[in-house]
């Protein structure tokens, strides 16, 4: 993980050529790249290796959620790829997270998704959760910490409470980042890169503010400079 550069660019595309050209253009300008289901399901290990060949660390955002044994075995298979970060769902429970912890060895950071930000409190209630999504996220962050995970994905506004509850070394990987003046698009709870960093974000997950720019290198550089 590049400690000097906290930007993780989200390559939200199933298109191998586009992902590769973004990765090549941004190597050296961001600290890490994130690939998810749409890329990995389409291109698998071959596509992953092609991106990894750019030398940029990878956050493999596959959000595993299954019984403990299956998640652990899945992670063991994925460990051959040695991603910088990999994630699971905290709602899989303590035993599942503990099994995941045992399966993820070496420098790979294991983090959890607490509550999906697409769920508002009524949606969470509908599937049987009690309480509002913010306190559920906080509770699940604590459970992730108890299972020995390295951190969580969280929204900018949750960074402070999670750091208070779980300690400053517990990683806050934060999406919903918008440089000043940029449209929120479909994100609801946003923060500027500087505000998120100042609140304690370890990694800033940034997609369209970089990938949608005419000059992606310039966009990444401007964000980096705004952090100083």
Catalytic residues: 63
Site string for ligand C5P, 172-191 (x = CB under 6 A): ---xxx---------x----
Site string for ligand C5P, 24-43 (x = CB under 6 A): --------------------
In whole angstroms, what is the distance from residue 151 CA to residue 140 CA?
11
Cβ proximity to ligand C5P: between 100 and 206 the closer is: 206
Cα angle at 48 between 46 and 51, to 5 degrees? 110
Q: Which of 72, 149, 147 is nearest to 108 (CA)?
A: 149
Q: Which of 211, 198, 133 is nearest to 172 (CA)?
A: 198
Cβ proximity to ligand C5P: between 39 and 68 the closer is: 39
What's the min distance (Å) between Cβ of 211 and ligand C5P? 7
Site string for ligand C5P, 192-221 (x = CB under 6 A): -------------xxxxx------------
What's the min distance (Å) between Cβ of 133 and ligand C5P? 11
Of all residues in the shown chain, the one whose CB is closest to ligand C5P is: 207
Q: By rule CB under 6 A, what count of residues binds ligand C5P?
A: 13
Parallel, antiparallel, or unpaired for β 32-36 and 7-10? parallel
Cβ count within 10 A of residue 149: 25
Residue 63 neighbours by CB under 8 Å, 6+ apart: 37, 87, 88, 89, 113
Tokens, residue 167: 């300690």
Cβ proximity to ligand C5P: between 23 and 72 the closer is: 23
**Which residues contact ligand C5P by CB under 6 A?**
10, 12, 117, 153, 175-177, 187, 205-209
């Amino acid at each position: 993980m590049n400690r000097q550069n906290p930007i993780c660019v989200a390559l939200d595309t199933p298109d191998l050529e586009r992902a590769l050209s973004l990765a090549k253009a941004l190597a050296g300008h961001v600290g890490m790249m994130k690939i998810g289901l749409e890329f990995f399901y389409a291109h698998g290990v071959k596509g992953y290796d092609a991106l990894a060949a750019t030398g940029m660390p990878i956050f493999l955002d596959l959000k595993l959620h299954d019984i403990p044994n299956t998640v652990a075995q899945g992670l063991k298979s994925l460990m051959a790829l040695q991603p910088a970060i990999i994630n699971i769902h905290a709602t899989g429970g303590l035993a599942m997270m503990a099994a995941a912890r045992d399966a993820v060895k070496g420098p790979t950071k294991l983090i959890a998704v607490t509550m999906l930000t697409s769920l508002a409190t009524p949606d969470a209630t509908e599937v049987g959760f009690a309480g509002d999504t913010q306190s559920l996220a906080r509770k699940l962050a604590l459970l992730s910490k108890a299972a020995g995970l390295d951190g969580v994905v969280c929204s900018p506004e949750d960074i402070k409470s999670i750091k208070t509850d779980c300690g400053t070394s517990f990683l806050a990987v934060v999406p919903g980042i918008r440089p000043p003046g940029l449209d929120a698009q479909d994100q609801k709870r946003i923060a500027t890169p500087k505000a998120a960093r100042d609140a304690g974000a370890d990694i800033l997950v940034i997609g369209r503010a970089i990938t949608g720019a005419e000059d992606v290198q310039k966009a990444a550089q401007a964000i980096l400079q705004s952090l100083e």
